[in-house]
């Protein structure tokens, strides 16, 4: 796997991990918390990169994570 | 400043509800009931002669020098063991007492060498003082009688000598080892005239259980126990009070100097964190400051394969600045970043993050707390509103139940552990949650009521299991919860923890902790009185580190164990200034005082103070810097006092990341592992060579005072300032106090802090502002910082690092007393004698299965890599678990650790790695490669033209 | 019918076991059971054999193996024999005694609780069980019982302090580390009447609220260990001891100073037998930090009598502040050595000459040491001193544990003084400077005096040293060394002269 693909995989893993740890609060809250967390703690480049990955199909993203990123993507365009 | 000598009142101060008034030699004095007559006399200004009594130890009554006469009482009682009583009339000097004291002294000197003038204690000997005080003029017994003058010296310990020929058998050393340190390594052996001090079973000090804390030397009134440095150099002539630069206890020391030479470091009796005690590191292992490997001149090189070139400061700084600007121009503002040190001062760390934010213009700054206590920051901020421990160290003296989770205080925070042990010996109960049987589980006069030896990686299951027991058995403190927390949130949480998957039986299956042990521990913590939790990296360095911290906070809230002395949630911060480093805004998402960069009001403060526009987006964490470097968007880094190549996980990944950068600036004392990938090396200064402040685990800000001129030419803050100026961002601080003033002006929790006030008060625990002008020992009294405490649901999500047939064992890591972190400092001192290599602890079953014997070389392999080290077969670890330390770079322990990290903070999961162990006959390939590269890196270029 | 062959250590040392074995079949064939009681206290009569007859117990002693042949035919009828002593109560040594504490010793079977009961045992305990703790304490206070170990502190006051001290756990500790040379009363009592000690501890426990007791017994008393251990087992089996109060037997390891109460407590706690500073008193802060009453064997053994017969019954004996009886131990160069229990008040001279019968050697008695190796030496001029705590102390002496050791005129008092220092040096715990170093210097200084080396100066040094020891020592080991040394100097100065008459006397004795 290329270094680039490995990096994407890592970001996907990290995002999924955040969502998984919020999942106990229920779907709605998990999505909101995941979105919040990524906004608060991820550097813009990282956010941009995972959004690119989302737009390119988002391989590996769990449903909650995907929804959170979709919201992030919307916010980014506003 | 002259030599600082704290007053010694002879016996400890007593706390009492009533006072007694007595007269000593006609002077009337009032003291708390229970105070000794000796201490009362001292307070009245009268020094009764003494030898076996000293203020830090309970009265012993053996020397018989301190005899006094008390009206209405027969005989001549010892004033140290006689409590003062109301209306007592004491006489400390008359003919009879004079004769008796002289008689006792005559006996002492009849068995003592007469070499005062060449003795290392000449001028600093209490026996000498007392002989003078009683007017001894002759020893009528002569010197031909039985004596101990031929007793042999024990010079085994690298730092001090034991010379029994000078011993007066006052037992101060034995008592210090018992009462102060709690190791009980010393005893008196034999009886009568043959009584001698013995280390363990009449062994040499080095072979014995002695942990070389130095308490016995400090207590010894003669030259019997003496620092080798004093024997070599002579007595000091002035002292400077400063703070230790090793661990998060933050011991206060007197640096006793002769000129600019440190003669010895002596713990300061009035130190708020250490109260006159120390450990081997702060006490003795300061020799690294003058080690030959210390780099004193700046160096640069074009490629990391080139040898280093020594250059002038100006050249090095200009080069570094121009490189940074070049890279920013080519790759964007965010292409560079910095890492602050957890061992440099608050002022220095503040300057580095200011450099990044104001001079670089981004938020790419991070600190080593990333890899240790960042989950504490996240977890406690979320639940309580503050990213720090809730108590001070003194709080432990009021605890009834002490729960130690994932920490090994006798090794990592020895001076605090001694305080904790004292409380445990006095009757407090102990619960230990750790995969390994740490010393604290069973140590002289201390035994844990429950040791939950859980499988690595199951903290959240066990902690939630404890909550399950507390809630379902009705042990929660509802009154507290109603008043201090969101009660609906609590109810939700209570329902959650009561789920069957968190029952003790279910938790047993997952963690290996017997259900009854879990129940016992929960009941004890919830109903044993004041319950205090102390935790360390065994909680945070996991993929659910932040969750575990929140689970701990939940337990404290549920049982009402917050907001007063004796309880609380206490993260044992590892390094001397990791707390400070976090406080100073070293995280990429926070400005000073834990305020998020997205907060416009906060940014406005700094925009104004610094004359820039602070970036509103969070920056890169260390691991993200590495990832971005590999990706190509991060090119330059300024690392102060941090060795990420040795201390961060997945060494190969870090090496690759560093290798992908174009300008790595390492600002450190020695050529460390990271320096192998550096292009600029700026020599740093040690804590002895600068002024500033450190903040310990109690949020206690303490002054660091310069004792000698920096051997490298500049204090670290001066170097950062040079770099900033070279980058075009002006910084003109004349003294670190000005930096602190700026911090105070811009940070609500620090408004009342200043060097003047620190000088006056000795130390300040933040928050320190109008509401608390002299600081805050215990937090969340009355209400939490965030208002109501927050209960957070802590679902157990097992780590993805799974054991399997190829990697059936779990590796966890830790520290040892004599070495410190990556060993940069301690490996360059005589502490090497105790721990010259990292060993792999392996259980006898696992060892036998693999044909491994104690001392054999073994290969330790994981999915990330492999390394070799020698095995230590022990039942301290459970079958299935192995353990090692990470103090030696040659061990390359982090080659083996995984990529997994805490979901919230990316704190690496050092504590859970699936491994296999097998016997081997040669080092791993990476190790050999690395050893070769390290050796090459130490070579210097020919002097530049 | 019973045949008694003394089982006391003295008797055993003189062959009593072989005697008992030798008489076993004879006794069995005549329907006699052989009982091994304690000693009746008259050492010159040991090994003592007593036979139960219709006319009462008939005693024979000292019986040795060579007497067996001639004794066997007459023994079981109490018949005539050169060794026949008749009714031992009529022997002047016993007749003059007032045996309150030792009333049963030598008479009953120390291995039978039933026998103890039938001899009047457990009456005191029954009475105490119906009294409140403070009532028991008051009773004992009224009796005037003082600590028989040596300090002579009023037992009732010690118990009151312990009873009133705050604490959930309390202990009663029996000091059975009888280390004074020339003493054996504790030993005799434990070997002869162990249940008395147990009963005494049970009453004490009730008085102070103790849940557990310890007996600290010196290792040099193997017979007492065996007999007492057995008695404790029986007491447990018979539910006299149990969950609400039990007694643990702890054995010493050869240290005299562990007879000092705080060093004793340290030893029980598993630490070095080193003296603790007082305050705090053991009554407040004793064993394992809990309120503890530490009492000597004899003190505890006196308690059942007091409870059974009343405080007055005990207090009416004695004089002044020395009430009740003292089990005096006569030893050394005397014809009649042994245990002599009498009310306080008899003169030292009477004890030595009339009761003790004067010296065994036939030579004049030159000095008597009362109170153990750290007691003062009294010359004949002080033989009119009554056996009373205050009277002895006024004359620079002490009663201590009641040991009386006599010396004839061949004694070298300088050597005795030296022995006191040497004893202190050997037994010193080593904690305090005066005792640790002073005792060694004391021996050296006396040696110099003996050698005539700067005699007068060294006598001053010795006197000064004694003052340092007396006022400076942490405990009575160093603190009392001046008693034997200074009394030797004061009353027997001639032995310290140069040349030394004593030395030439000794040379005459051992050519």
Asked whether C261 and C171 are in contact (CB, 8 A), the reply is no
Question: A18 and B544 in contact by Cβ < 8 A?
Answer: no
- Which chains does chain A touch, 3 or more C-beta pairs < 8 A? B
Question: A7 and B906 in contact by Cβ < 8 A?
Answer: no
What CATH number has the domain bearing residue B715? 3.40.50.740
Residues B611 and B718 placed together within one structural domain of the fold: yes
Q: Establish whether chain A is in contact with chain C, requiring a minimum of 3 CB pairs below 8 angstroms.
A: no
Q: Establish whether chain B is in contact with chain A, requiring a minimum of 3 CB pairs below 8 angstroms.
A: yes
Mean pLDDT over residues C217-227, rounded? 97
Does any domain span residue B646?
A: yes
Q: What ipTM was predicted for this assembly?
A: 0.96
Q: Is the pLDDT of residue B945 over 50?
A: no
Which residues of B are less than 8 Å from A37 in CB distance? Answer: 904
d(CA B658, CA C327) in angstroms, rounded, equals 92
- The DSSP bridge pattern shows strands C292-296 and C171-176 to be parallel
- Residue B33, chain C, CB below 8 Å: the answer is no
Best interface-test mutation with B: which of A9, A21, A30 has the largest number of B CBs within 10 A?
A: A21
Which residues of A are less than 8 Å from B617 in CB distance? Answer: 43-44
Does any domain span residue B46?
A: yes
Choose one of B516, B545, B571: the last residue of a domain.
Answer: B571
Asked whether B281 and B818 are in contact (CB, 8 A), the reply is yes
| Per-residue model confidence as pLDDT tens digits over B19-29 | 999 999 999 99
Q: Which of C277, C428, C467 sits opposite B192 (nearest CB)?
A: C428
Q: Establish whether chain C is in contact with chain B, requiring a minimum of 3 CB pairs below 8 angstroms.
A: yes
CB burial of residue B279 (10 Å; 0-12, 13-18, 19+): buried
Choose one of B133, B151, B186: the last residue of a domain.
Answer: B133
Which residues of B are less than 8 Å from C151 in CB distance? Answer: none
Residue/partner pairs of C224-230 with CB below 8 Å, 24 or more apart: C224/C9, C224/C176, C224/C186, C224/C187, C224/C190, C224/C191, C225/C249, C225/C251, C227/C7, C227/C110, C227/C111, C227/C190, C227/C191, C227/C194, C228/C190, C228/C191, C228/C194, C228/C197, C230/C111, C230/C194
What CATH number has the domain bearing residue B119? 3.10.20.740
Residues B492 and B509 placed together within one structural domain of the fold: yes
Q: Which of B81, B190, B195 sits opposite C279 (nearest CB)?
A: B81
**Closest CA of chain A from B795, distance in Å:** 6
Q: Which of B107, B146, B187 sits opposite C433 (nearest CB)?
A: B107
Give the model's confidence band at B74: pLDDT under 50 very low, under 70 low, under 90 confident, else very high. Answer: very high
What CATH number has the domain bearing residue B927? 2.40.40.20
Q: Is the pLDDT of residue C454 over 90?
A: yes
Does any domain span residue B5?
A: no
Best interface-test mutation with B: which of C258, C288, C440, C460 has the largest number of B CBs within 10 A?
A: C440
Give the model's confidence band at B922: pLDDT under 50 very low, under 70 low, under 90 confident, else very high. Answer: confident
- Residue A56, chain B, CB below 8 Å: the answer is no
Domain of residue A54: give its range.
3-77
Indicate the number of domains in chain B: 4
| Per-residue model confidence as pLDDT tens digits over B507-558 | 999 999 999 999 999 999 999 999 999 999 999 999 999 999 999 999 999 9
Nearest CA in chain C to B69: C471
Q: Which of A21, A23, A40 sits opposite B618 (nearest CB)?
A: A40
Question: B547 and A21 in contact by Cβ < 8 A?
Answer: yes
Question: B334 and A43 in contact by Cβ < 8 A?
Answer: yes
- Which chains does chain C touch, 3 or more C-beta pairs < 8 A? B
- Residue A77, chain B, CB below 8 Å: the answer is no
Residue B798: partners with Cβ closer than 8 Å, 6 or more residues away: B457, B458, B510
Q: How far is the first Cα of chain A from the last one, in angstroms, to the nearest whole number? A: 35
Give the model's confidence band at C500: pLDDT under 50 very low, under 70 low, under 90 confident, else very high. Answer: confident
Does any domain span residue B775?
A: no
- Residue B107, chain C, CB below 8 Å: the answer is yes
Which residues of B are less than 8 Å from A49 in CB distance? Answer: 631
Question: A7 and B631 in contact by Cβ < 8 A?
Answer: yes
Nearest CA in chain B to A4: B631
- Residue A1, chain B, CB below 8 Å: the answer is no
Q: Is the pLDDT of residue B941 over 70?
A: no
Cα–chain center distance at C161:
25
Nearest CA in chain C to B62: C432
Contacts with B, C 420-449, CB within 8 Å: 425-441, 444-445
Share of chain B above pLDDT 90, in %: 88
Q: Which of C425, C457, C471 sits opposite B192 (nearest CB)?
A: C425
Give the model's confidence band at C506: pLDDT under 50 very low, under 70 low, under 90 confident, else very high. Answer: low
E strands in B281-324:
299-300, 309-310
E strands in C137-263:
171-176, 212-217, 246-251
Asked whether B715 and B671 are in contact (CB, 8 A), the reply is no
Q: Is the pLDDT of residue C511 over 90?
A: no
CB burial of residue B75 (10 Å; 0-12, 13-18, 19+): exposed
Give me the residues paired with residue A66 across strands.
none
Question: B619 and A43 in contact by Cβ < 8 A?
Answer: yes
pLDDT of residue C127: 97
Residues B727 and B832 placed together within one structural domain of the fold: no
Question: B544 and A21 in contact by Cβ < 8 A?
Answer: yes
Share of chain C above pLDDT 90, in %: 96
Q: How many helices (H) and strands (E) does chain B have?
A: 29, 36
Does any domain span residue B417?
A: yes
Number of residues in chain A: 78
Q: Which of B363, B598, B903 sits opposite A21 (nearest CB)?
A: B903
E strands in B527-615:
531-535, 568-571, 590-591, 595-596
Residues B615 and B702 placed together within one structural domain of the fold: yes
Q: Is the pLDDT of residue C456 over 90?
A: yes
Which residues of A are less than 8 Å from B905 in CB distance? Answer: 41
Residues B81 and B112 placed together within one structural domain of the fold: yes
- Residue A42, chain B, CB below 8 Å: the answer is yes
**Closest CA of chain A from B457, distance in Å:** 15
pLDDT of residue B167: 98
| Per-residue model confidence as pLDDT tens digits over B857-905 | 999 999 988 999 999 999 999 999 999 988 888 887 888 888 899 999 9
What pTM was computed for the model? 0.93
Q: Is the pLDDT of residue B1 over 80?
A: no
DSSP SS3 for B542: coil
Residue C109: cis peptide before it, omega within 30 degrees of 0: no
- Residue A20, chain B, CB below 8 Å: the answer is yes
Q: Give the count of Cβ contacts less than 8 A between chain A and B.
A: 62
Best interface-test mutation with B: which of A41, A52, A62 has the largest number of B CBs within 10 A?
A: A41
Residues B883 and B919 placed together within one structural domain of the fold: yes
Q: Which of B60, B64, B83 sits opposite C279 (nearest CB)?
A: B83
List C-alpha distances in Å: B44 to B6, B11, B36, B303, C416: 16, 14, 12, 70, 47
Does any domain span residue B175?
A: no
Mean pLDDT over residues C396-414, rounded? 96
* Better-scored residue on pLDDT, B533 or B647: B533
Choose one of B536, B571, B606: the last residue of a domain.
Answer: B571
Mean pLDDT over residues C185-190, rounded? 98
What mean pLDDT value characterizes chain B? Answer: 94
Best interface-test mutation with A: which of B357, B496, B551, B618 has the largest number of A CBs within 10 A?
A: B618
- Which chains does chain B touch, 3 or more C-beta pairs < 8 A? A, C
| Per-residue model confidence as pLDDT tens digits over B205-255 | 999 999 999 999 999 999 999 999 999 999 999 999 999 999 999 999 999
Give the model's confidence band at A4: pLDDT under 50 very low, under 70 low, under 90 confident, else very high. Answer: confident
Indicate the number of domains in chain A: 1
For residue B469 the two structure tokens come to 């027991």
Residues B529 and B512 placed together within one structural domain of the fold: yes
Does any domain span residue B163?
A: no
Which residues of A are less than 8 Å from B624 in CB distance? Answer: 43, 46
Residues B714 and B656 placed together within one structural domain of the fold: yes
Q: Which of A21, A25, A46 sits opposite B624 (nearest CB)?
A: A46
Residues B603 and B557 placed together within one structural domain of the fold: no
Residues B528 and B675 placed together within one structural domain of the fold: no
- Residue C472: in which H helix or E strand, if any? helix C455-472
Residues B427 and B345 placed together within one structural domain of the fold: no
What CATH number has the domain bearing residue B512? 3.40.228.10
Residues B633 and B734 placed together within one structural domain of the fold: yes
- The DSSP bridge pattern shows strands C171-176 and C212-217 to be parallel
Which residues of B are less than 8 Å from A39 in CB distance? Answer: 598
- Residue B23, chain C, CB below 8 Å: the answer is no
**Closest CA of chain C from B153, distance in Å:** 21
Write the DSSP assignment of B608-657 as a string of letters.
HHHTS----S----HHHHHHHHHHTS--EEEEES--HHHHSS-HHHHHHH
Phi-psi domain of B440 (left: phi exceeds 0; alpha: psi -120 through 50; beta: other): alpha
- Residue C49, chain B, CB below 8 Å: the answer is no
Determine which of B245-249, C140-144, C504-508 has the lowest per-residue pLDDT on average.
Answer: C504-508
Does any domain span residue B205?
A: no
Asked whether B585 and B593 are in contact (CB, 8 A), the reply is yes
Domain of residue B873: give its range.
809-940
Mean pLDDT over residues B42-55, rounded? 97
Which residues of C are less than 8 Å from B64 in CB distance? Answer: 432-434, 472-474
Cα–chain center distance at B666:
24
């Amino acid at each position: 796997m290329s270094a680039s693909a490995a990096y994407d995989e890592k970001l996907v893993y990290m995002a999924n991990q955040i969502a998984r740890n919020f999942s106990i609060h229920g779907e709605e809250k998990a999505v909101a918390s995941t979105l919040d967390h990524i906004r608060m703690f991820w550097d813009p480049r990282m956010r941009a990169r995972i959004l690119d990955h989302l737009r390119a199909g988002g391989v590996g993203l769990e449903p909650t994570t995907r929804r959170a990123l979709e919201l992030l993507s919307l916010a980014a365009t506003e | 400043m002259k030599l600082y000598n704290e007053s010694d009142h002879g016996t400890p101060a007593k706390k009492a509800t009533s006072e007694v008034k007595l007269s000593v030699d006609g002077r009337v004095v009032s003291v708390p009931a229970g105070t000794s007559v000796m201490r009362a006399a001292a307070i009245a200004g009268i020094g009764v002669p003494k030898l076996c009594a000293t203020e830090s130890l309970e009265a012993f009554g053996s020397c018989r020098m301190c005899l006094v006469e008390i009206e209405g009482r027969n005989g001549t009682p010892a004033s140290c063991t006689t409590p003062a009583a109301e209306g007592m009339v004491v006489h400390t000097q008359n003919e009879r007492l004079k004769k008796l004291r002289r008689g006792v002294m005559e006996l002492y000197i009849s068995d003592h060498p007469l070499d005062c003038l060449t003795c290392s204690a000449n001028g600093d000997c209490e026996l000498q003082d007392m002989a003078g005080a009683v007017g001894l003029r002759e020893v009528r017994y002569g010197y031909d009688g039985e004596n101990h003058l031929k007793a042999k010296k024990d010079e085994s310990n690298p730092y001090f000598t034991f010379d029994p020929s000078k011993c007066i058998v006052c037992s101060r050393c034995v008592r210090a080892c018992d009462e102060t340190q709690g190791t009980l390594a010393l005893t008196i052996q034999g009886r009568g005239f043959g009584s001698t001090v013995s280390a363990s079973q009449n062994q040499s000090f080095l072979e014995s259980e002695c942990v070389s804390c130095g308490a016995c030397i400090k207590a010894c009134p003669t030259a019997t126990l003496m620092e080798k440095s004093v024997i070599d150099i002579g007595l000091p002539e002035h002292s400077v009070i400063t703070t230790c630069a090793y661990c998060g206890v933050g011991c206060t020391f007197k640096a006793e100097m002769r000129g600019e030479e440190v003669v010895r470091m002596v713990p300061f009796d009035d130190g708020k964190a250490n109260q006159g005690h120390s450990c081997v590191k702060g006490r003795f292992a300061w020799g690294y400051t003058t080690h030959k490997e210390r780099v004193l001149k700046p160096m640069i090189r074009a490629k990391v394969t080139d040898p280093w070139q020594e250059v002038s400061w100006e050249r090095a700084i200009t080069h570094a600045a121009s490189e940074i600007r070049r890279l920013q121009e080519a790759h964007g503002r965010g292409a560079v970043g910095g890492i602050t040190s957890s061992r440099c001062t608050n002022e220095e760390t503040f300057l580095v993050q200011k450099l990044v934010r104001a001079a670089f213009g981004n938020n790419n700054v991070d600190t080593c707390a990333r890899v240790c206590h960042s989950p504490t920051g996240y977890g406690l901020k979320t639940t309580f509103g503050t990213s720090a421990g809730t108590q001070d160290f003194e709080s432990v003296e009021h605890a009834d139940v002490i729960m130690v989770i994932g920490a090994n205080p006798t090794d990592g925070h020895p001076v605090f552990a001694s305080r904790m042990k004292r409380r445990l010996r006095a009757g407090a109960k102990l619960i230990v949650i750790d995969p390994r049987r740490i010393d604290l589980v069973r140590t002289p006069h201390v035994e844990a009521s429950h040791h939950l030896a859980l499988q690595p990686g199951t903290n959240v299951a066990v902690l939630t299991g404890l909550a399950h027991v507390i809630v379902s058995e009705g042990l929660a403190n509802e009154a507290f919860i109603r008043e201090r927390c969101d009660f609906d949130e609590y109810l939700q949480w209570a329902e959650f923890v009561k789920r069957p998957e968190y029952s003790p039986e279910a938790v047993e299956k997952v963690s290996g902790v017997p259900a009854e042990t879990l129940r016992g521990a929960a009941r004890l913590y919830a109903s044993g009185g004041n319950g205090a939790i102390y935790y360390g990296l065994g909680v945070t360095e996991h993929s659910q580190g932040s969750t575990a911290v929140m689970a701990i906070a939940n337990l404290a809230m549920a049982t009402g164990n917050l907001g007063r002395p004796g309880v609380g949630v206490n993260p044992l911060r590892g390094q001397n200034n990791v707390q400070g480093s976090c406080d100073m805004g070293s995280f990429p998402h926070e400005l000073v005082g834990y305020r998020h960069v997205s907060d416009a009001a906060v940014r406005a403060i700094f925009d104004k103070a610094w004359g820039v526009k602070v970036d509103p987006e969070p920056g890169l964490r260390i691991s993200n810097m590495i990832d971005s470097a590999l990706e190509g968007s991060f090119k330059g880094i300024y690392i102060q006092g941090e060795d990420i190549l040795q201390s961060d996980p997945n060494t190969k990944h870090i090496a690759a990341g560093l290798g992908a950068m174009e300008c790595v600036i390492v600002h450190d004392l020695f050529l460390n592992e990271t320096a192998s990938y550096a292009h600029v090396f700026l020599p740093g200064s040690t804590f002895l060579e600068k002024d500033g402040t450190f903040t310990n685990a109690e949020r206690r800000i303490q002054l660091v005072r310069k004792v000698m001129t920096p051997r490298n030419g500049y204090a670290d803050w001066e170097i950062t300032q040079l770099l900033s100026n070279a980058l075009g961002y002006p910084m003109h601080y004349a003294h670190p106090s000005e930096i602190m003033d700026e911090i105070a002006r811009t940070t609500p929790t620090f408004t009342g802090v200043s060097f003047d006030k620190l000088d006056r008060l000795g130390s300040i625990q933040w928050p320190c502002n109008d509401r608390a002008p002299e600081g805050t020992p215990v937090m969340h009294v009355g209400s939490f910082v965030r208002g109501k405490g927050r209960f957070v649901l802590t679902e157990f999500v097992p780590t993805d690092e799974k054991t399997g047939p190829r990697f059936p064992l779990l590796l966890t890591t830790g520290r040892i007393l004599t070495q410190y972190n990556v060993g940069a400092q301690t490996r360059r001192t005589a502490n090497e004698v105790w721990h010259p290599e990292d060993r792999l602890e392996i259980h006898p079953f696992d060892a036998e299965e693999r044909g491994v014997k104690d001392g054999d070389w073994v290969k330790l392999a994981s999915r990330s890599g492999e390394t070799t080290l020698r095995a230590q077969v022990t039942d301290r670890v459970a079958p299935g678990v192995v353990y090692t330390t990470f103090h030696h770079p040659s061990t390359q322990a982090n080659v083996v650790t995984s990529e997994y990290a805490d979901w919230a903070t990316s704190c690496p999961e050092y504590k859970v790695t699936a491994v296999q162990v097998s016997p081997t006959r040669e080092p791993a390939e990476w190790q050999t490669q690395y050893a070769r590269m390290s050796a090459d890196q130490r070579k210097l270029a020919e002097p530049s033209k | 019918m019973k045949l008694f062959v003394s089982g006391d250590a003295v008797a055993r040392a003189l062959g009593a076991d072989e005697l008992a074995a030798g008489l076993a079949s004879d006794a069995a064939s005549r329907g006699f059971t052989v009982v091994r009681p304690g000693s009746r206290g008259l050492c010159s009569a040991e090994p003592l054999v007593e036979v139960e007859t219709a006319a009462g117990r008939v005693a024979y002693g000292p019986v040795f193996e060579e007497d067996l042949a001639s004794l066997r035919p007459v023994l079981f009828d109490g018949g005539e024999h050169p060794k026949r002593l008749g009714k031992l109560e009529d022997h002047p040594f016993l007749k003059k005694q007032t045996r309150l504490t030792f009333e049963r010793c030598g008479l009953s079977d120390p291995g039978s609780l039933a026998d103890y009961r039938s001899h009047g045992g457990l009456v005191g305990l029954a009475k105490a069980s119906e009294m409140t703790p403070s009532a028991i304490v008051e009773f004992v206070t009224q009796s005037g019982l003082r600590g028989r170990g040596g300090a002579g502190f009023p037992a009732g006051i010690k118990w009151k302090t312990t009873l009133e001290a705050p604490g959930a756990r309390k202990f009663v500790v029996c000091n059975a580390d009888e280390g004074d040379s020339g003493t054996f009363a504790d030993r005799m009592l434990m070997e002869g009447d162990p249940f008395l000690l147990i009963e005494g501890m049970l009453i004490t426990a009730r008085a102070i609220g103790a849940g557990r007791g310890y007996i600290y017994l010196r290792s040099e008393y193997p017979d007492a260990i065996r007999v007492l251990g057995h008695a404790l087992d029986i007491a447990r089996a018979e539910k006299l001891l149990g969950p609400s109060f039990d007694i643990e037997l702890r054995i010493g390891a050869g240290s005299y100073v562990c007879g000092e109460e705080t060093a004793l407590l340290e030893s029980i706690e598993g630490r070095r037998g080193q003296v603790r500073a007082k305050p705090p008193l053991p009554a407040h802060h004793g064993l394992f930090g809990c309120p503890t009453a530490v009492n000597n064997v004899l003190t505890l053994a006196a308690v059942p009598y007091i409870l059974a017969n009343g405080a007055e019954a005990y207090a009416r004996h004695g004089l002044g502040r020395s009430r009740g009886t003292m089990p005096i131990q006569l030893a050394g160069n005397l014809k009649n050595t042994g245990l002599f229990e009498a009310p306080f008040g008899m003169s030292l001279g009477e004890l030595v000459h009339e009761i003790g019968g004067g010296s065994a050697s036939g030579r004049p008695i030159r000095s008597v040491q009362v109170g153990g190796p750290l007691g003062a030496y009294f010359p004949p001029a002080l033989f009119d001193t009554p056996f009373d705590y205050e009277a002895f102390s006024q004359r620079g002496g002490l009663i201590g544990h009641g040991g009386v050791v006599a010396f004839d005129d061949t004694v070298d008092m300088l050597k005795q003084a030296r022995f006191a220092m040497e004893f202190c040096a050997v037994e010193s715990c080593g904690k305090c400077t005066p005792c640790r170093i002073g005792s060694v210097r004391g021996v050296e200084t006396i040696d110099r005096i003996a050698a005539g080396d700067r005699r007068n100066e060294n006598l001053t040094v010795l006197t000064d040293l004694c003052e340092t020891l007396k006022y400076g020592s942490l405990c009575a080991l160093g603190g009392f060394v001046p008693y034997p040394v200074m009394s030797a100097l004061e009353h027997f100065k001639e032995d310290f002269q140069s040349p030394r008459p004593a030395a030439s006397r000794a040379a005459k004795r051992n050519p």
